[in-house]
């Protein structure tokens, strides 16, 4: 079987296979991107924005086909796939709408005579390495700002998303981008290393695991390339007080089961003060157990299959090992092929592997804490630092806890609130950069000083 294949996780059927590029095709892709970068950067900002806006419109026109592809490739329920395509279109359109603001000169008040500005210019060719969990959204948040800036993109999608990869390349081509401004490659890891090393490539962005991020960062550093990393997370969901515990529990379930539990910024560790712990655990476990597992095309399905049989097997191994080491399995925990039910663990201690691991699937760990201080200590006792969630009725406490949490994002009394204008990213082993919002447009740009005497 080819490295690039669509294997429907709901059935295990290999739907389609795509040939991995030859080394000659990789060199041709780099050459086309290098030429395309010059042609794309030479266009006016308005013309680039117009093409990017057409790409957003094409996402909406091809919404049903893109969503069906996502379901086949990684198994999320159809409604979630449709929502992903809609959000992707919104993100791309946001950058088209803000193209002038992104590229506008930034005057500097100087101490001497004359003037000085920072002018944002494209770097050239960028290499994006994308994951499988959000086949269109991940590409949109990388491609949107960088195309508006004037960079060209070589895109290596996850091997299980070749159909999405081809469809997205077609969208950007049909939107009117010049040849080479957006190039899809079906590359091996070795060929990806070749692309990173090539002097025509100016930067690399990877969204994926710690292992992938570490490998890419090492290569990028070796070749003196700018690198952006968006990696894993084990986000805390802290419950300190509640007027409506049922609503908090529902938010916790939504934050854990989104995308079949396969979101890097999904809530994974539920940290609850002693006075609310027993009731929260009871209601949360019942709701997790009740989440319907089924075929992703069925209307009432909450949890489709995980992205692959291998993904379900990895999660099963983590759960089994946690129980062997002394954790208590409250509900769930037994896969059926690639399908995995809502799962809850308790009694996890720092000596257990699962205490510091990311559970990438519909499984969460619930912790009991005495007070705010213990909650913050536990929240921060992780190698990750992506997102976090704080639920409290005390506004001052919310701000105080938000300041103390070691994470790139803090959401207070709200979940699933990502939006194109809000920056996304983390600290520690969760990454080094920001995507979405205007901050994303500063990752791969030459902030050129122009000083006039």
Query: What residues are annotated to the active site?
Result: 230, 264
Lookup: tokens for 366: 């619930």
Pairing mode, strands 343-346 and 363-369: parallel
Angle at 432 between CA 208 and CA 56, to 5 degrees: 65
For tokens 């992703």, the residue is 296
Is the separation of the CB atoms in 201 and 37 below 8 Å?
A: no
Closest-CA residue to 264 (of 157, 168, 360, 165): 360
Give rounded-to-5 percent helix, strand, coil for the chain. Answer: 45, 20, 35
How many other C-beta atoms are found inside a 10 Å radius of the C-beta of residue 168? 28
- Rounded distance, CA 353 to CA 365, Å? 12
Tokens at 248, concatenated: 């908090």
- DSSP E strand boundaries for 307-369: 328-331, 343-346, 363-369
| Half-sphere exposure of residue 247: CA atoms within 13 angstroms, side-chain side | 10
DSSP letters of 294-314?
--TTSTT-SB---S-HHHHHH
Beta bridge partners of 451: 116
Q: What is the DSSP letter of 335?
A: -
How far apart CA 123 and CA 149 sit, in angstroms, is 9
d(CA 376, CA 373): 5
Backbone φ and ψ for 230, nearest 5 degrees, come out as -125, 110
């Amino acid at each position: 079987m080819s490295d690039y294949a669509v294997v429907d996780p709901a059935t295990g059927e290999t739907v389609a296979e795509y040939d991995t590029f030859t080394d000659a095709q990789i060199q041709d892709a780099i050459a086309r991107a290098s030429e395309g970068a010059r042609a794309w950067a030479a266009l006016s900002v308005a013309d680039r924005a117009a093409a990017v806006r057409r790409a957003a419109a094409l996402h909406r026109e091809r919404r049903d086909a893109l969503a069906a592809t996502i379901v086949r490739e990684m198994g999320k329920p159809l409604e979630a796939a449709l929502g992903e395509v809609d959000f992707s279109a919104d993100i791309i359109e946001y950058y088209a709408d803000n193209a002038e603001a992104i590229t506008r000169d930034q005057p500097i008040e100087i101490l001497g005579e004359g003037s000085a500005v920072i002018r944002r210019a494209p770097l050239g060719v960028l290499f994006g390495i994308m994951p499988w969990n959000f086949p269109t959204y991940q590409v949109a948040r990388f491609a949107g700002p960088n195309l508006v800036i004037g960079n060209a993109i070589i895109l290596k999608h996850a091997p299980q998303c070749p159909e999405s990869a081809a469809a997205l390349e077609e969208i950007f081509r049909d939107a009117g981008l010049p040849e080479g401004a957006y190039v899809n490659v079906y590359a091996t890891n070795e060929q990806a290393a070749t692309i990173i090393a090539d002097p025509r490539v100016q930067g690399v962005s990877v969204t994926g695991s710690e292992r992938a991020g570490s490998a890419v960062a090492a290569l990028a550093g070796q070749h003196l390339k700018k690198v952006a990393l968006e990696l894993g997370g084990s986000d805390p969901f802290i419950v300190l007080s509640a007027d409506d515990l049922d609503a908090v529990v529902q938010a916790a379930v939504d934050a854990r089961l989104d995308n079949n539990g396969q979101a890097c910024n999904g809530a994974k560790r539920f940290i609850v003060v002693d006075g609310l712990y027993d009731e929260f655990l009871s209601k949360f476990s019942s709701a997790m157990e009740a989440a319907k597992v089924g075929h992703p095309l069925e209307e009432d399905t909450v949890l489709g299959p995980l992205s692959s049989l291998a993904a379900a097997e990895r999660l099963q191994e983590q759960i089994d090992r946690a129980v062997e080491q002394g954790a208590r399995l409250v509900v769930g925990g037994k896969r059926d092929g690639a399908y995995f039910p809502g799962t809850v663990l308790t009694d996890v201690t720092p000596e257990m592997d699962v205490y510091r691991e990311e559970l990438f699937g519909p499984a969460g760990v619930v912790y009991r804490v005495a007070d705010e201080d213990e909650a913050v200590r536990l929240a921060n006792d992780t190698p990750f630092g992506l997102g976090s969630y704080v639920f409290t009725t005390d506004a001052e406490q919310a701000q105080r806890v938000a300041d103390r949490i070691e994470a790139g994002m803090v959401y207070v009394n709200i979940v699933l609130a990502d939006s194109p204008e809000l920056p996304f990213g983390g600290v520690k082993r969760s990454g080094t950069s920001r995507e979405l919002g205007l901050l994303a447009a500063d990752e791969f740009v030459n902030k050129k000083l122009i000083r006039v005497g």
